């Protein structure tokens, strides 16, 4: 039986900690609500909610170890001592998570102070995945095959001449498979493998933790400052906290067209590049290159991180399109950590409402470059589109 109990406070995506520090510093009174979205309409077996409840309750036992704190101090100098002391004292509060099951469908809702409950999303997703695969799903391929397959994948990316980070924590098959993938990437990935979004595994395998911020950063800023100011204020606050570190901006919370209309010369120079997470990657690349050129900035001094449902064919197509025009790197998730036999789950957990001042809830939405990835209620989506002039 493969383990599913989280083993470390750092078994989470790096951008959760970087955003948490920003929230503590700038929005200590804010509250947030998150909801599980079963995009693939997967069926969960009877009693699944009970197993998930037990795993969530066990999360309260996690604490940052002295070694982990020292690792963060040495590796991430932009995480300040106050924040690291906070993280050392932080404990998950399972009361923030409500889990129910109706037939074969499971509902998961999170509510609490934003600085606290921001850490729940990723562990909840990997717990849902791991428990799902443990209950009556077909067996996965052997450990040796996982290693061999991962070695072959990273070898093909090396031949392409591109760099790859592992972004697969949220929808991994299991903790054990994730370890095997990292072991293979570390052993066979020299020259191509540049790091992982998982801080615990970055520490275990002596590689770089990678990430900046997620859509929720900008979604919250819309609740606080309005849709038209969300991108600009989100970027402004990121720079205020990180002073030039962690300089990859996420471009598609309210469509990339709206983002680039607000990504002026100051931000374009301050940030090292942008991350692509929805819509046609080649169209996006052309848009980014043209934007930098219009501002008189050499695109070859900037980077696009591509991170949307990548596999080798997609990476090869993007590489051919972008090479010699702009720098690029690739964040590959599910294709690395959940390509071991049974089909991967298509699930997300998204912020649904924010309470910026500690009272009064405001619905939040995400308007990706791909309509199928929109999240939020219809009325707020229409309001956002109307405010931002999106047709």
Judge if 167 and 226 occupy the same domain. yes
Largest CA distance in the chain: 59
Distance from C-alpha of 166 to C-alpha of 331, rounded to nearest angstrom: 6
CB 169 within 8 A of CB 202: no
3-state secondary structure of 196: strand
Structural domain contains residue 42: yes
Count: domains in the chain:
2
> 288, 320, 337: which is the final residue of a domain?
337
What strands, in cross-sheet order, belong to the sheet with 327-332?
193-196, 164-166, 327-332, 303-306, 273-276, 248-250
Rg (CA), the chain: 20
CB 134 within 8 A of CB 1: yes
Asked if pLDDT for residue 357 goes beyond 90, the answer is no
Range of the domain at 316: 143-337
Distance from C-alpha of 217 to C-alpha of 175, rounded to nearest angstrom: 27
Residue 5 per-residue DSSP state: S
Q: Please name every residue paired with 165 in a beta bridge, in sequence order, or none if there are none.
A: 195, 331
CB 217 within 8 A of CB 49: no
Closest CA to 373 of 254, 195, 270: 254
CB-based contacts of 331, cutoff 8 Å, min separation 6: 164, 165, 166, 167, 197, 210, 275, 305, 306, 307, 310
Judge if 54 and 164 occupy the same domain. no
232-242 confidence digits (pLDDT tens): 999 999 999 99
Closest CA to 100 of 135, 39, 133, 56: 56
Residue 372's pLDDT band (cuts 50, 70, 90) = confident
Mean pLDDT taken over the chain: 96
CB 163 within 8 A of CB 273: no
Judge if 321 and 362 occupy the same domain. no
Neighbouring CB atoms inside 10 A of 43's CB total 12
Judge if 148 and 123 occupy the same domain. no
115-170 confidence digits (pLDDT tens): 999 999 999 999 999 999 998 778 999 999 999 999 999 999 999 999 999 999 99
Judge if 132 and 148 occupy the same domain. no
Helices (H), 135-247: 143-160, 175-188, 199-204, 215-225, 227-242
CATH number at residue 67: 3.20.140.10
Judge if 82 and 95 occupy the same domain. yes
Judge if 227 and 304 occupy the same domain. yes
Asked if pLDDT for residue 5 goes beyond 90, the answer is no
Give the predicted TM-score (pTM) of the model. Answer: 0.97
Judge if 151 and 108 occupy the same domain. no
Scored b (16 or more CB within 10 A) or e, 25-42 reads eebeebbbbbbbebeeee
């Amino acid at each position: 039986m493969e383990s599913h109990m989280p083993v470390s406070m750092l078994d989470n995506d790096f951008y959760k900690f970087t955003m948490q520090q920003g929230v503590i510093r700038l929005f200590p009174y804010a509250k947030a609500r998150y909801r599980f979205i079963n995009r693939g309409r997967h069926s969960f077996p009877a009693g699944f909610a009970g197993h998930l409840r037990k795993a969530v309750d066990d999360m309260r036992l996690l604490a940052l170890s002295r070694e982990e704190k020292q690792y963060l101090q040495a590796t991430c100098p932009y995480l300040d001592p106050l924040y690291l002391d906070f993280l050392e004292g932080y404990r998950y509060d399972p009361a923030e998570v409500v889990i129910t099951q109706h037939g074969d469908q499971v509902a998961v809702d999170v509510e609490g102070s934003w600085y606290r409950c921001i850490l729940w999303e990723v562990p909840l997703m990997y717990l849902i995945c791991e428990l799902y695969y443990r209950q009556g799903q077909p067996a996965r391929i052997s450990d040796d095959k996982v290693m061999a397959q991962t070695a072959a994948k990273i070898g093909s990316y090396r031949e392409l001449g591109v760099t790859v980070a592992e972004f697969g924590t949220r929808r991994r098959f299991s903790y054990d498979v994730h370890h095997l993938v990292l072991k293979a990437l570390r052993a066979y990935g020299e020259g191509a493998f540049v790091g992982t979004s998982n801080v615990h595994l970055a520490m275990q395998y002596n590689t770089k933790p990678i990430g900046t911020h997620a859509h929720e950063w900008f979604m919250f800023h819309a609740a606080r400052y309005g849709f038209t100011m969300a991108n600009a204020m989100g970027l402004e606050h990121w720079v205020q906290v990180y002073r030039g570190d962690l300089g990859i901006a996420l471009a598609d919370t309210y469509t990339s067209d709206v983002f680039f209309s607000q990504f002026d010369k100051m931000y374009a120079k301050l940030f090292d590049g942008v991350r692509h997470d929805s819509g046609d990657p080649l169209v996006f690349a052309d848009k980014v290159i043209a934007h930098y050129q219009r501002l008189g900035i050499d695109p070859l001094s900037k980077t696009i991180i591509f991170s949307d449902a990548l596999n080798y064919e997609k990476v090869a197509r993007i590489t051919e399109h972008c090479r010699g025009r702009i720098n690029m790197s690739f964040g590959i998730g599910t294709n690395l950590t959940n390509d071991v036999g049974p089909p991967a789950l298509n699930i997300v957990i998204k912020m649904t409402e924010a309470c910026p001042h500690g009272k009064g809830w405001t619905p939040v939405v995400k308007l990706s470059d791909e309509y199928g990835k929109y999240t939020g209620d219809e009325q707020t989506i229409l309001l956002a589109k109307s405010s931002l002039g999106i047709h």
